[in-house]
Structure 1
Amino acid sequence: MATSMRARRWSAAWLLLCLAGFAAAVVPAAPTQMTPEADRRGEDQTFLTYPEWFLVYSPDEFADFLKAGKNPSEFPFIGHLQQFWQAYGAIYRITGDRYDFNGEYHTMIGVIGVSTTLEYGLKSAYETVVGRVTELTAGGTATEEDRLAAEVARDYVDFLALQPWYEYDFSARLKQVWTDTPWVGPNMLRKWERKYWLTSEYAGKAIYGWLIGKATRSSFEKPKLETVAWVDGFPAESTGLPSDLRVIRREADGHALIALPRYAPFTTESLQLAQRGVRFEEIAGNRDAILITVIAPGDWRAPDRWPYRVLFLQPVLTRANQQRLAVVVPVKDLDRALLELAQAPYRLEHVYDY
């Protein structure tokens, strides 16, 4: 009886060893991360950074809107708020399905979302009532203050491509309201109403930005301005490569560990690399999903067997027949997606590099 029990135990152990060996042969081991630990970022951040970037796209629309000579009272502030929260809903769902809850980042999005809701709500109410009245008294003619507001709006958007909003020098812009525009001139009601409004806006943002900047610097580490990527097919010659690309390590088989500038330049330079035949295998330690947005025609619909997942579609509210398309692709397919989505009928907008 004891011999029979020992035999059964040995048989069970042998079977488990066989199953373990079979599983190891069938299920490949996870690839080793090539990105140094200090340069890795959570994969959920490719999604969570979108709400921040929407608050670049919205001012960009506003800047173009003013440059085209349109009245601020006609800008769809409430429509942009709806788009912000709708997109965040999609982001919340996909990150909730895939990743652990990132309380710190969701809190930050909540703060900027609530503050933007208050700002846009106030702007919408003020411009619809007071601003519209003074627009009518000016007969559609822009004052020096209107032209300064359009200039500041464009400068602010250009700044946001590389720096956080709270570092923008609103104090200098406030000074310009009173030093670069005359105190008297045509359409005095509109002129002084704009001085009042721009003074209130720039002063409020200067104070709030100073507080946010102080809180951010005391609570968070200074963000890294590079994104590290592990790539294949890296060319031996540097001709045609971005000048600020940094090669950390190069392998004889064409693999390389490289560092690219973060934020807006990452989009441009990753496209340049894809055009040189470089294939991404890992970005900031991630190999699964990366988010891209493109601008597509308003009537665009996904073709049959389109290989990418569409996270959401939103119309560009101030530009006729355009919509923003948020696409999720595997990192290994990023080069192919960039080459495809940078051609008509698409316009590549941004790659969210975690």
Structure 2
Amino acid sequence: MLKWVRRLLVTLIAIVAIIVAIPLAGLGYGYLTTAPVAVSPSAPADDGAAQIAARLAAEIDGYKRPEESTFLTYPEWAIVYAAREYAGLVENASPRTFPYWAYIGRFWQDYALMIRATADYGFNFQNHLMLMVIGISHTIEHAVQWSYENTIGWLTEFAAVFETVPEDSYQAAVASEYAAFLDQVPWYRFPYAEKRSGLWDTEPASGFAAIRSWERKLGFGLAYSIKQGYADLIKSGLDATSEAALLDIHVWAKGPVAGAIAGEPDTELEQDLGADGAVFVTRRYQVFT
């Protein structure tokens, strides 16, 4: 019994050590490979504009967020770009050739830059906690996938004579869907369990290529299960400790706002401020940019 307890403790200590080591190494790399960025202070608003902004912030839920949050959401886009590049690559190439380590490094570089940029702001615990969770997850996922694709993945590619099997095509389609999903919605809301079922329903290849098919089903079926469990855990934790992610953005603009937004999907006029412009609401993230 004591032997098993000792093994469990050693395992837990190893897991904690890895979790601590990843951001230390990642941010160390980020600081060493980037230079400080110059941040220009915001221009002060006149009294009238400041009063309107204060009123809108009081009346509209989610109208304003802490300024440092704008900086600290920037590293999250490294995850979006990684997913987009991966989806584009696996349409015509092996996932083995994806530059996993480069995208691990990119996240930590972006995070280091934004830590520097927000040095004069108060410490935003929720933003940093989310970035730590994302960064550690992103690092582990990409490091494991790099190792897997360059060992077991390579062997099953060899068995299939480096030809694409139906499961590869399915995975490429899911990767494309996931990349588009991340443009607007947090990763932990992706339906991994549903995609696992779709993978298992895919008709496997015949002959030696079936080795590749079943390796994809087993390996990525397990990955989907782990991701779904982890996503559920993240959702539960966020529901208990922070507010839900805001998927809409409220914009105060001057000029012919009503005409400018007419016909735009998921966009509507919220308040007409007369000579001071108008407030409209639209989708946040990629749609807004």
User: Considering the TM-score relative to the shorter chain, is it more than 0.5?
Assistant: yes
1:48 corresponding residue in structure 2: 72
Matched, 1:212 2:234: yes
1:32 corresponding residue in structure 2: 51
Matched, 1:87 2:110: yes
1:193 corresponding residue in structure 2: 215
Determine the C-alpha separation between the residues in 2 that align with 1:89 and 1:105.
14
Instruction: Please identify, of 131-140 and 85-94, the stretch whose mean Cα deviation from structure 2 is larger.
Output: 131-140
**In 1, are the aligned partners of 2:267 and 2:282 still within 8 Å (CA)?**
yes
Q: Which has the larger radius of gyration?
A: 1
Q: Which amino acid aligns with 1:242?
A: E
What's the CA shift string for 1:57-114, capped at 9, x where partnerless? Answer: 10111011011x21111111011001110111101100113x1111221111011101
**In 1, are the aligned partners of 2:76 and 2:107 still within 8 Å (CA)?**
no
Q: Which amino acid aligns with 2:236?
A: K
Q: Aligned residues, how many?
A: 239
What's the CA shift string for 1:291-316, capped at 9, x where partnerless? Answer: xxxxxxxxxxxxxxxxxxxxxxxxxx
5+ residue gaps, structure 2: 1-44
Which of 75, 80, 100 is 1:77 aligned to?
100
> In angstroms, what is the RMSD of aligned CA positions?
2.2
Higher helix share: 2
Determine the C-alpha separation between the residues in 2 that align with 1:202 and 1:118.
15
Inter-CA distance 92–232: structure 2 relative to 1 (3 Å threshold): same
3-state secondary structure, aligned to 1:32: helix
Matched, 1:221 2:243: yes
1:274 corresponding residue in structure 2: none
Give the TM-score, by structure 1 length.
0.63
Instruction: Please identify, of 212-221 and 163-172, the stretch whose mean Cα deviation from structure 2 is larger.
Output: 212-221
Give the TM-score, by structure 2 length.
0.76
Determine the C-alpha separation between the residues in 1 that align with 2:73 and 2:84.
17
3-state secondary structure, aligned to 1:263: coil
1:304 corresponding residue in structure 2: none
Instruction: Tell me which of the two structures has the higher relative contact order, counting C-alpha pairs closer than 8 angstroms and 6 or more residues apart.
Output: 1
What's the CA shift string for 1:151-207, capped at 9, x where partnerless? Answer: 111111122222221111111111122212237455122222222211121111111
Q: Which amino acid aligns with 2:71?
A: F
5+ residue gaps, structure 1: 1-26, 268-354
**In 1, are the aligned partners of 2:174 and 2:195 still within 8 Å (CA)?**
yes
Determine the C-alpha separation between the residues in 2 that align with 1:236 and 1:74.
48
Inter-CA distance 222–190: structure 2 relative to 1 (3 Å threshold): same
1:258 corresponding residue in structure 2: 280
- Equivalences for residues 17-28 of structure 1 within 5 A: none
Q: Which amino acid aligns with 1:86?
A: Q
What's the CA shift string for 1:297-346, capped at 9, x where partnerless? Answer: xxxxxxxxxxxxxxxxxxxxxxxxxxxxxxxxxxxxxxxxxxxxxxxxxx
